[in-house]
A and B are shown apart, each in its own frame.
Chain A
């Protein structure tokens, strides 16, 4: 769908200019307010491009859950437009969606049977190609009390009580006796629980996928890319829980575009891609 355009002022010479401006704005806003384009963004877990699940045989997924916030679509003129989350489903509220690609079976021993593979929302009518979003919970919600939060922020698997805040992403792989898991969330937070004033390492992951085509594309999360710098065959199941002393975080953080020592987005992520 093409967006309606305000009519040109040259066709209405009898109206004072400022009325025309108001009229144009009114007309613009009428079209703006039509949040009638359904948006469904499917996510899938892959290993070097092939599907991987909890039931896969070496390597298998052990976990893949993450919060998506701030989704936007790119129009043909290079402008970004918000996508509003649908809020009638349990895995979304108006600020975040919980994408859960594990089903609690097979290698996902600490998982849940529920699978939430689609981010669902609406956008203003438009012709879009390109998607961007943040993997993370906005600061204003990240440090609120999880025991009084509504879904999907009431999932204790996704909360770090001792760091105060959510695990933005939890992912894991197992291959025979080896494995690797990663929990990404804000660290170095200051203040006290309930009164956190800021975090030294926000560790929010910015994803930008210019090739994404709504209705056609799927977002693939490639676990092989995520753990490319981690040794899966050392017979030591490694891990990374975002701590500053964890050298095992450096490589997977790099794959996610985050500088492990600053917690800021400083590179281009390679884990999320369009499929």
Chain B
């Protein structure tokens, strides 16, 4: 009888230990109390091992075709996960038509990239930079078997992927790899800017210039907030508690080639996806969080500074006097009704820039949770 009890007890102990090891704990988001959790796809629940695996993979150059570039090649933490270039350059030197977008708070983006209404999950989006060949970004397409091989061959990865996907018989796959990268990227959240501290009650967090700039930003005169509104300063925001699928694409009068509203043919925005003329030049309004460290601006990096961006909006559209893309964006037939132009004094312009600077979360730019693990 004692022997039986011992056996049963040992078995129970083993089962409990196994359960403790393999159970999936609810993921703890480190968010301010008034910020909702991001929406997470049901088939890719968050867990700590997955996030850690994703962080390593995000920084692993072996995920590119020629092993020279990781995701971080175009998403540098110190630049709020952009790359500082007008247009990004892929692993083989090919220049992307678009500028790298910030990944900060991308977990809250209702649609991903500058103008792709099809993409609403990071798991799907990650496949384009990894495998796409038009243009080549990381250039793993055709040799993607190496991804699963890397997960299998390196003990560190094999251990993490097994913990991250405990119910998978063989978790070593490209699919799980992109799930892990997506899980890591979802954790890159930012709510500790001067603006956030100001809103939380610390009146000293923002300068009086920034305060005046904030009033301008949220004024009907400037209309900035119509597209850059909400807690994430973009109208394309979603989270775990919303039921509304909200996405906004706007033509900001950046181009008006030949006077018919055309944009350069390699960068027509939503039009490229839908083929509808009215979608010419419509791009997603990016979040303005950390905008001061993500120059140059716009989908093609063609605007060098925040001041220049404000000037284009004040004018009601950009004027390009010469060159192949010449035209007056103010007169574009496709321009958003919110880009009507406004008068702004030099002091007001400086105040508005100051407010935009208050959206930078300095801690995020060096936060160890998001840093390159290969450097430590």
Contact = CB atoms under 8 A, between A and B. Distances in A.
Interface stretch (A66-74, A87-95, A194-202): A194-202
A183 interface: yes
A183 B135 CA distance: 12
Nearest to B177: A147
Contacts of B202: none
Given A161-B128, A162-B132, A193-B120, A156 B142 contact: yes
A58 B132 CA distance: 27
B133 A161 contact: no
Name the residue in A148, A163, A192 with the highest tally of chain B Cβ atoms < 10 Å from its Cβ. Answer: A192
B265 interface: yes
A209 B134 CA distance: 32
B265 A246 contact: yes
Nearest to B275: A244
A148 B131 contact: no
Say which size band chain B's interface belongs to.
20 to 34
Contact of A162 (B116, B175, B265): B116
B interface, over-half SS: loop
A193 B182 CA distance: 15
Contacts of B276: 188
Interface string A179-217: 000010001111111101000110000000000000000
B36 interface: no
B192 interface: no
A193 B124 contact: yes
Interface string B251-268: 000000000000101001
A172 B273 CA distance: 23
B118 A162 contact: yes
Contacts of A196: 118
Interface string B170-194: 0001110010000000000000000
Contacts of A187: 273, 275
B120 A192 contact: yes
A156 B274 contact: no
Nearest to B119: A193
B303 interface: no
B272 A193 contact: no
Contacts of B132: 161-162
Given A112-B142, A187-B275, A188-B273, A247 B265 contact: yes
A245 B265 contact: yes
Interface centre among A157, A161, A163, A247 (most CB of B within 10 A): A161
Contact of B133 (A110, A112, A193): A110
A187 B134 CA distance: 15
B124 A188 contact: no
A162 B119 contact: yes
B271 A245 contact: yes
A241 interface: yes
Contact of A159 (B116, B131, B174): B131
Interface of A: 110, 112, 147-148, 156-157, 159, 161-164, 183, 187-194, 196, 200-201, 239, 241, 243-247, 261, 263
Given A187-B273, A189-B118, 13 more contacts: A110-B133, A147-B178, A156-B131, A156-B142, A157-B141, A159-B131, A161-B124, A164-B124, A192-B118, A192-B119, A192-B120, A245-B265, A261-B275
10 smallest beta-carbon distances between A and B, as pairs:
A244-B275, A161-B127, A193-B124, A188-B275, A245-B268, A147-B175, A162-B128, A161-B128, A156-B131, A192-B120
